[in-house]
Structure 1
Amino acid sequence: MTPDNDASTQRAALRMAFVREHLGTTATAPSAASSDAGFRSYWRSGDGHGHSAIVMDSPPELEDVRPWLRLHQLLDDGGVRVPQILARDVTSGLLLLEDLGGPTLLQTLDRDNAAHWFAQALEQLLRIQRIPPPDWLPRYDAALVRREFGLFEEWFLRRHLGVELDATEQAEMAQLADVLVDAFLGQPQILVHRDFMPRNLMPLPDGVAVLDFQDAVSGPMAYDVLCMVKDAFTSWPAAQVDAWISAYLEAAAAAGLPLPDAAHFRRDFDLIGVQRHLKVLGIFARLHHRDGKSRYVADAARFITYLMQVMPIYPELAPLQALLQRHVLPRVPAMALPA
């Protein structure tokens, strides 16, 4: 047996012992429910009497479960709908969670129900944004913005496409990083989920529940709105995106959040989006080449399209537009988005 197989067998045995301890000796062997881009995995087990629960498996040597628990408590205290914790073994990195069902919001969204579900998601987002960021929460500071920005060149351009930027291009990218840092730091800083999108929301009869919040930071208020309306895995017509942004601004103002004026918010929204789109391209390439998780890179064209939509609006993005046209579009064409 290889070391990887041995570790997998040991984790399976730990999960089985954990569910039997908390669901009883009739508990079924946990079956894979889902996984994410990190090291966590999720397993469904039943008690043999028609009730089920989810095991979150976070191997301690790979991903400490305590930051997740701390953020869970923060969100729960703030009235955000998060999965209920039924049992925990922090030492082993195992949690037993409320089973919220099968499909995520991403899997159930369509044009007919989008208005309803986006309204439910907005309600939860505003609850998140009204929670004062605690002092222990990491900040979306200049160093983090630049580090994420660098993933695009390191992993997408160099590793995935085999592109090496020349000195002029590197200087232009450094100037762009300054512009994006200013957009991030110039906005009101609030609690940011950092991956608030349909894939991380669960539809429920009374609204939506919020998942995958472990990377939350104190950062710009436009970030989570951007994640929701310019999703990694599905795209919406530009007019619909504009309508959702307007609905957010109206609701955020009513909630007393510290909004800039609409034009300033939209500029920051677009520039913050440029950083996120470039970062995600880098992360998807890294998942493919380093981690063997290749399904994500298929959505690279979506992010290139998001970039191509925004770059002509802002003169400071002209060097990036030229770079994409020179190095990226010939290799990864943009995709057609819904009208």
Structure 2
Amino acid sequence: MQREQLIETWLQQVLPQQDFKINYLAGDASFRRYARIQLETTQYMLMDAPPEKEDCAPFVQIASYLSAHGARVPQIVAQDLTQGFLLLEDFGDQLLSTVLTQNTVDQYYTQAFRQIIQLQTIAHEAQLFPQYSAQKLTDEMRLFDQWLLPALGIDLSDAQATMLQQSYQWILDNLKHQPEVIVHRDYHSRNLMVLDGESVLGVIDFQDAVVGPDTYDLISIIRDAYVQWLPEQVAGWVDQFYGMLSESAKVGRSIEQFRLDAEVMSIQRHLKILGIFVRLYVRDGKSGYLKDMSRVMWYLRQELKHCPDLLALQQFVEDVVMPKFEQEYGVYQAITSEQLAQAGATV
């Protein structure tokens, strides 16, 4: 039986004697898909996660836990983990990315920061939130040399491979000293929702949450792969977030150290994203993310300038990677204050 038929049969069971319409929505980077379920007086969101491709159990467990601790995540109305169906509270269509302008960003980001801080205060159950291990962090960075570099036709010499390994290790050495908290892992403008009648933002796509460095979610939003702000704005948000941290998170950690921590975390994330976007295209046939490659690379190049200990990696990116990268993905023109004033952010 086709999954559409299975979904309709299941909905008839969980919504007995109710007329409903199913409207399937555009897909994302995963194997999950979503549909809006319209009833006469209300609507829900259906998550369709084929069990052989996706496991709904982490979503259910983490959603329940986070909700019980005050995080604004969708309520689960019904579930069938065997078939891979979830019926969820519908957060609507207003992605944060669609309302960000130069006039609104400070207000929305301040609220987003508050919700990160709140998330970081939640006790992390080891059974629910795996450790963001050194191996996992390394595997993510290695997507850069496993997917991006081959796509550019770059074969590493032994010296270059050693340099990358040493650079990854330096990054890890910094990250392991950062306070560990619950990390959403994809906390950006397309995973936050503006909710009708609520001052808090709805948080989605949290099923891959882990316990890891406390700068991760911050840089996910202020250095969003899909939107860019002026460097001085971003620097101001880093300082603002530092001021919102608990005193325990600041012990032995000056604001200068926190700024460096944010830069290093950004480098790790953007090395990963560059590899993931190429993988989505080469392996999964999803080309929509390629248009954001040049922005992510621009971020990485700026961040490397603030880490003198990664000079060898910076030179490799500039001298070896960029000539071929520009041919393949183009050159990103950094947003200007004039452009922001006229049109908001480049979402």
Q: What's the TM-score, normalizing by structure 1?
A: 0.92
AA of the residue aligned to 2:334: L
The structure 1 segments of at least 4 consecutive aligned residues displaced by more than 6 Å after TM superposition are: none
The match for 2:296 is: 303
Distance in 2, Cα, partners of 1:29 & 1:11: 16
AA of the residue aligned to 1:304: M
Contact 2:97 2:190 in 1 (8 A): yes
Q: Residue 38 of structure 1: CA displacement?
A: 1.4
Distance in 1, Cα, partners of 2:210 & 2:244: 22
Match of 1:336 among 305, 309, 333: 333
1:190 alignment partner, SS class: strand
Please list the CA deviations of residues 247-300 of structure 1 after superposition, one character each: whole Å capped at 9, or x if unmatched.
Answer: 21111237x645622111111110111111010000000000001111012211
Query: How much is the aligned-residue C-alpha RMSD, in angstroms?
Result: 1.6
Distance in 1, Cα, partners of 2:111 & 2:15: 32
1:36 alignment partner, SS class: coil
- Once the two structures are superposed, the pairs formed by residues 96-111 of structure 1 within 5 Å of their partners are 96-111=87-102
Instruction: Please say if 1:23 is aligned against 2:15.
Output: yes
Indicate the percent of aligned positions where both proteins have the same amino acid: 35
Contact 2:36 2:43 in 1 (8 A): yes
- CA shift in 2, pair 1:217/1:258, >3 Å: farther
Match of 2:110 among 119, 123, 129: 119
The match for 1:144 is: 136
The match for 1:4 is: none
Match of 1:85 among 42, 52, 76: 76
- CA shift in 2, pair 1:45/1:183, >3 Å: same
Distance in 1, Cα, partners of 2:74 & 2:26: 15
Match of 1:183 among 157, 167, 174: 174
- Once the two structures are superposed, the pairs formed by residues 154-193 of structure 1 within 5 Å of their partners are 154-158=146-150, 160-193=151-184
- Once the two structures are superposed, the pairs formed by residues 5-44 of structure 1 within 5 Å of their partners are 10-44=2-36
Q: Residue 27 of structure 1: CA displacement?
A: 3.4
Match of 2:314 among 293, 296, 321: 321
Q: Residue 25 of structure 1: CA displacement?
A: 4.5
Please list the CA deviations of residues 65-110 of structure 1 after superposition, one character each: whole Å capped at 9, or x if unmatched.
Answer: 0011111122112100001111111111101011111131112211
The match for 1:57 is: 48
Q: Residue 19 of structure 1: CA displacement?
A: 2.3
- CA shift in 2, pair 1:10/1:25, >3 Å: farther
Q: Residue 33 of structure 1: CA displacement?
A: 2.4
Contact 1:19 1:27 in 2 (8 A): no
The match for 1:226 is: 219
Contact 2:152 2:325 in 1 (8 A): no
Distance in 2, Cα, partners of 1:217 & 1:36: 21
Contact 1:35 1:42 in 2 (8 A): yes
The match for 1:153 is: 145
Q: How many residues are aligned here?
A: 328
Q: Residue 26 of structure 1: CA displacement?
A: 4.5
Q: Which runs of 5+ in 1 are unaligned?
A: 1-8
Distance in 2, Cα, partners of 1:86 & 1:311: 45
2:74 alignment partner, SS class: coil
1:174 alignment partner, SS class: helix
Match of 1:283 among 269, 276, 282: 276
Distance in 2, Cα, partners of 1:68 & 1:258: 31
Contact 2:60 2:76 in 1 (8 A): no
Distance in 1, Cα, partners of 2:244 & 2:10: 43
Contact 1:149 1:279 in 2 (8 A): yes
Please list the CA deviations of residues 106-128 of structure 1 after superposition, one character each: whole Å capped at 9, or x if unmatched.
Answer: 12211121112112212211111
Distance in 1, Cα, partners of 2:189 & 2:158: 39
Instruction: Please say if 1:46 is aligned against 2:38.
Output: yes
- Once the two structures are superposed, the pairs formed by residues 244-283 of structure 1 within 5 Å of their partners are 244-253=237-246, 257=249, 260-283=253-276
Contact 1:27 1:45 in 2 (8 A): no
The match for 1:3 is: none
Q: Residue 332 of structure 1: CA displacement?
A: 2.7
Distance in 2, Cα, partners of 1:82 & 1:34: 21
Contact 2:174 2:261 in 1 (8 A): yes
Contact 1:16 1:29 in 2 (8 A): no
1:332 alignment partner, SS class: helix
Distance in 1, Cα, partners of 2:75 & 2:137: 32
Instruction: Please say if 1:130 is aligned against 2:121.
Output: yes
Q: Residue 174 of structure 1: CA displacement?
A: 0.6
Instruction: Please say if 1:67 is aligned against 2:58.
Output: yes
